[in-house]
Amino acid sequence: MKEENNGASKNKWSRIFRKKWFFPAMYLTIAAVLLTVVVWYQNLDNQIPEVEDDQEVTEDYTPNPYDEDAESVVGQQEIIRMPVEDQDQAEIVTKFFDYNADQEDQENALILYNNRYYQSTGIDIAAANGEAFSVTASLSGTVTEVKEDPLLGNVVTLSHDNDVVTYYASLGEISVKAGDDVEQGDSIGTAGKNLFGQDNGTHVHFEIRKDGKEFNPEEFFNKSVSELDSANQDANDESEAPDEGETEDPNGETEDPDQDEDQEPEADDENPADETSDSSASTSNA
């Protein structure tokens, strides 16, 4: 009886072995088991280094000082703002005189005083309703000068990092004094009137200077202070390059062949800046 059962079992297994799917199924099963073991082993092996990496970050990590410097420099770069509290109610009534501007903008950058036109070295800002308004610091800085000029009105000068200076003239009331440190947006006074820009009524005259050169404030509003560095470098490069049409004589002086020898120099009398007591007023047009 036992022999019959053993023979039946052997026949059963032999029939299974003869099936076409038996060996492929067995191979797939073995491969799946091996793959499972390999994946489990790899995950187990990677857990220890991850814990060590975390310990190194928390215990031995030291911040990179160069990264901190980079963040601090970016944080110090202020955006140049129009020196008014409400920009929507402000309008520019006199533009900065630019030789490369179109004729209309150049005409809007001329100031008539004492029957003579002067080129504006800044911009004049007035309120849409013509009323007085609060004048704010365009950049954070230090008040270096507060004075009353007979032609330009009350004047406040602020110095900033990187040899940048902002200049505010035609002020009415003044709320700062020399030596004060002001933050961007702080009030430095109110718009007023002056003789030199009397046609503009109540306004503030605003200038931006870099290394003693005046730049068009409109071109730098809502831009970082670093933009002034690039503009100043470009201006220096242009000033160093010789003009086409100019020739240099043996003595090192430049001569323009198109210049008329009989041309008379422009009259320099009746210059309102000469009537002021401060030399800086001679280069500023309110």
pLDDT of residue 101: 92
Cα(105)–Cα(49) distance, integer angstroms: 68
Task: Give me 46's structure tokens.
Answer: 């990677």
> What does residue 273 show for φ and ψ, rounded to 5 degrees?
-70, -25
The closest of 125, 21, 35, 114 to 82, measured between CA atoms, is 125
Q: Is the whole-model pTM more than 0.85? A: no
Per-residue pLDDT of the chain (286 residues; tens, 9 = 90+): 555 555 566 666 676 666 777 778 878 888 888 888 888 777 765 654 444 444 444 555 555 555 544 444 444 578 999 999 988 889 999 999 999 999 999 999 999 999 999 999 999 999 989 999 999 999 999 999 999 999 999 999 999 998 999 999 999 999 999 999 999 999 999 999 999 999 999 999 999 999 999 999 999 999 998 888 888 887 777 766 555 544 444 444 444 444 444 444 444 444 454 444 444 443 444 4
Contacts of residue 55, Cβ cutoff 8 Å, sequence gap at least 6: none
pLDDT of residue 232: 83
Q: Which amino acid is at 129?
A: N
**Among 2.70.70.10, 1.10.3720.10, 3.40.50.2300, 3.40.50.2020, what is the CATH number of 87-231+275-280?**
2.70.70.10
Q: Mind giving me the DSSP string for 147-175?
A: EEETTTEEEEEEEEGGGEEEEEEEEEEE-
* Burial (Cβ within 10 Å: 0-12, 13-18, ≥19) of residue 202: middle
Contacts of residue 101, Cβ cutoff 8 Å, sequence gap at least 6: 95, 109
The closest of 174, 190, 119, 176 to 144, measured between CA atoms, is 176
pLDDT of residue 214: 95
Helix (H, G, I), strand (E, B) or coil at 146: strand
pLDDT of residue 71: 44
What are the extents of the domains in the chain? 87-231+275-280
Cα(117)–Cα(96) distance, integer angstroms: 14
